[in-house]
A and B are shown apart, each in its own frame.
Chain A
């Protein structure tokens, strides 16, 4: 039981590993399946975890990208992610972590406001992606985007580092949607 670090292990040859962390097992499983279906030059490995820290007695590869999946329809999923965040090394937030918020469209079901997630992501200086994982097409599109980000953060795209992608995805202080 320890803090998760990004660079404590050597990378595998042409493999990129993503760790999806979220309280909703079924959703994570479906997202993982979609990710494995995407057409990608690197060999993708998808690990799932309900929460952090991970048990330390298992041998696992280096984690290249950490995705925190938050279901906006459940407060518990946010709380569990918030707790997990304590067990992540700060250097992960230099481009190797992102937040994924699902279900923002259906406002009537939301128990967590999307601005909460935006604020959380801003605190950790990490990008936040919105999608609806329960919809097939949206999930596949998101899986593709995640695979793309994973390739970059694993260092498989020449000339682009995880840090540079992070700086590109850093949004300027955008006005909140409520002002519109």
Chain B
């Protein structure tokens, strides 16, 4: 059953490994190969310490010998026997999979693999075990690429090298030099076999300044030649993202995942590396504005292992001198290492010289960097973050793997971190959206429920009709077949989604002129999407109420939603008023629960305010307003309002009357049905009426409800208002002219 266990270490081991004392600088900066032996071993936690060190010492020595062998001049290597080669290869493989390789070792091995000194099989084996201990230096990559130009390695080695580069992209310490080779990589697109991988690499590498008209032309030529390949589309979409004016071809909008992650050969190894890198800083940072170095509560460490720890690229060289102060740093390297960044003023002072970490995922845990990302408006940064996120979400998703318990918890806390970052930025990530589209159809509605629903509420604003088959249909599917609690949480998260959308739209309207919103949808279309969302929730709640036999509990959540929906015009300043469905109105009006009635009154009051304000504005700026509310909305609202006033206030419910003969009504004993829904007799308020009368005349044995009239009616109202029925008060004050009645 549980056949596919990830060969990762258990959380317990990690805790031991990542004691703060080991997180010092001693083992993160070993640039020389021989220092591998200093690394604590992960896999032998249970052995006595001495044995452990001994074994590691041996490993290190053997590796050094192997390295010397590989470094030897080419001719001698060629002559040497296969046996020796095999022995050294095995050594390297062992060390690589156990501890990873130091940057220098990787440098040497890359050289060997791509120089074509050995056969294809050996090259493949070497490439497959090139797993970094922590980071890969940029220089080795550049050198390796230069070997590609010499033409000494075979096609398959080249392919493998590109795949390796893509997989390890996050672990390369700098990328500027590599970016300078952009032209070279781009030229490799010619090669049909390499094309998909080169596309993927360029997808990761592209910056705005790399997008040139001639490159676009070349890509379009390629697409014409090869057809709509997903990898070409991916690259084109990045180009279009950076310079929309250059690319006029239409690309599929919904497509968000272009590259299959299943092709990654180094998956498990990468996980190990990430975990190793985390060992450098055992305390995850909390999201907060103040000083970030406040120690968070003692938390299980393993829960954060998915997200890499902040590690600036320049850090590696200077880590030994811990006492260096800020100004020295600034003068020496020109950029502030991210580890030093701890306060907001610091961020402001150094904002010009910050260099983002090579592993973008680490910013999720750092509030200051999230601020930074948010304000620099560099698309490539966001693109890197999104890419990392979608990869990781895909890899870690629990219901894609064997669901073991630990894994599930880890994934849940990873989602929590993402949600915290999203709500911190007040912005949804596109990768989470794509993840939801992909995984919601397979979701059982159980695992990580609260996290998934929160992710739903952070979906960026989008065209509703486009999202419906991808998301809302599946959500409805779950809604109809699940328990009442799940129904409530779905409605709750849809309320938050609506709030986020409205906030985003209202901000957008004020920032930009109405005509060019970033999604190329006019205001009218966006309003249509919001309208459809409210309508959709109305539909869900109508059926939900029927399925749950008018549960009061569910009704609270539904009315909560409409409390947001009724105020779109006034609070969010958006030209839209959507009424709730009649079914909801009536079941709230005939409720047994006073708080529901109170909430309904409040909503009616707000609708009233919104609609009057809209009408007023319409009269004032008739020429200006593009969107006028349909008279249908007003009519419907008026109808609801008359019914409500008729029931609660004037005791004249239902204009058309009831189609029962007086005799039947007499037989039923409800000849006085007309007043049975007013404020005194209403099923939810009857208790208030009784206790009001008892308060007046405590010694009375029989209570005469019909005595609440005239002056007493007003006293009764004041009594109701004093019982915290604020919604009712607002409703009566705004919608009813009391003087005319009393």
Contacts and interface: CB of A to CB of B under 8 A. Distances in A.
Contacts of B473: 171-172, 174
Interface of A: 104-109, 114, 127, 129-132, 134-135, 137-138, 140-142, 144-145, 148-149, 152, 157-160, 165, 168-169, 171-175, 177, 179-180
B402 interface: yes
27 contacts: A105-B399, A106-B400, A107-B400, A114-B442, A127-B477, A130-B441, A130-B443, A130-B444, A132-B444, A137-B403, A138-B399, A141-B445, A144-B482, A145-B482, A148-B481, A149-B481, A152-B547, A160-B547, A169-B477, A169-B481, A171-B474, A172-B468, A175-B254, A175-B469, A175-B470, A177-B441, A179-B255
A51 B104 CA distance: 62
B447 interface: yes
Contacts of A127: 477
A180 to B, nearest CB: 5
B401 interface: yes
Contacts of A142: 444, 446
Contacts of A159: 546, 549
A107 B468 CA distance: 25
The 4 closest A-B pairs by CB, nearest first: A141-B446, A174-B469, A105-B399, A131-B444
A70 to B, nearest CB: 14
Nearest to A171: B473
B254 A180 contact: yes
B1 interface: yes
Contact of B438 (A109, A140, A165, A177): A177
B257 interface: yes
B256 A180 contact: yes
B4 interface: yes
A109 B400 contact: no
Given A171-B469, A177-B441, A138 B482 contact: no
- Chain B interface: which size bin? 35 or more
Q: A132, A135, A160, A169: which has the most chain B beta carbons within 10 Å?
A: A135
B447 A158 contact: no
Contact of B483 (A114, A144, A152): A144
A150 to B, nearest CB: 10
Nearest to A152: B547
Contacts of B403: 105, 132, 135, 137-138
Interface in B391-405: 397-403
Given A106-B4, A174-B473, A180 B445 contact: no
Contacts of B446: 137-138, 140-142
B513 interface: no
A180 B434 contact: yes
Nearest to B435: A180
Contacts of B447: 135, 137-138
Nearest to A38: B483
Interface in B412-456: 434, 437-438, 441-447
A130 B446 CA distance: 12
Contacts of B401: 105-106
Contact of B481 (A108, A109, A135, A145): A145
Given A105-B397, A142-B444, A144-B482, 5 more contacts: A130-B443, A138-B446, A140-B446, A177-B438, A180-B438
Given A104-B442, A142-B444, A148 B483 contact: yes
B480 interface: yes
B645 interface: no
Contacts of A179: 252, 254-255
A105 B481 contact: no
A107 B256 CA distance: 20
B148 interface: no
A129 B482 CA distance: 12
A138 B444 contact: yes
Nearest to A105: B399
B543 interface: yes
A179 B437 CA distance: 11
In the complex, which of the residues B3, B257, B481, B543 has the most CB atoms of chain A within 10 Å of its own CB atom? B481
A106 B256 contact: no
A145 B480 CA distance: 9
Contacts of A152: 547
B476 interface: yes
A165 B257 contact: no
Contacts of A172: 468-469, 473
Interface in B522-545: 543
B4 A109 contact: yes
A151 B369 CA distance: 52
